[in-house]
Amino acid sequence: MSDYRQRVVEEKTELDDKIERLKVFMNTVGYKNLAILDRRCLYRQLRVMELYSDILDERTSAFT
C-alpha cells in the first residue's frame, strides 16, 4: 500500500476511535452536566465526524 493510502487508512482508524470515545463520553454524567450549548456542539461535532468517517470509508473502498 502506498504511503498516501496508508495515511488515509490510519486517519480513518484514528477518527473512528475518537468517535467511539466521544459516544462513550456522551453517555456519562459529565456530559449530562455540561451546559446545553456545549452538549449541542458536541452532538454536532459527532455527526460531522461520522460524516467524515463515511467519506474516508468511501475513499479507502476505492483503493481496492
pLDDT at position 57: 96
Q: Is the pLDDT of residue 1 over 80?
A: no
Q: Per-residue pLDDT tens for 5-64?
A: 999 999 999 999 999 999 999 999 999 999 999 999 999 999 999 999 999 999 999 987
What stretch of H or E contains 35?
A: none
What residues contact 26, with CB distance under 8 A and at least 6 apart? Answer: 42, 43, 46
Helices (H), the chain: 3-25, 29-32, 36-61
pLDDT at position 64: 72
This prediction's pTM? 0.90
Domain locations in the chain as residue ranges: 3-61
pLDDT at position 53: 98
**Could you tell me the three cell numbers for 14?**
484514528
Please state the length of the chain.
Answer: 64
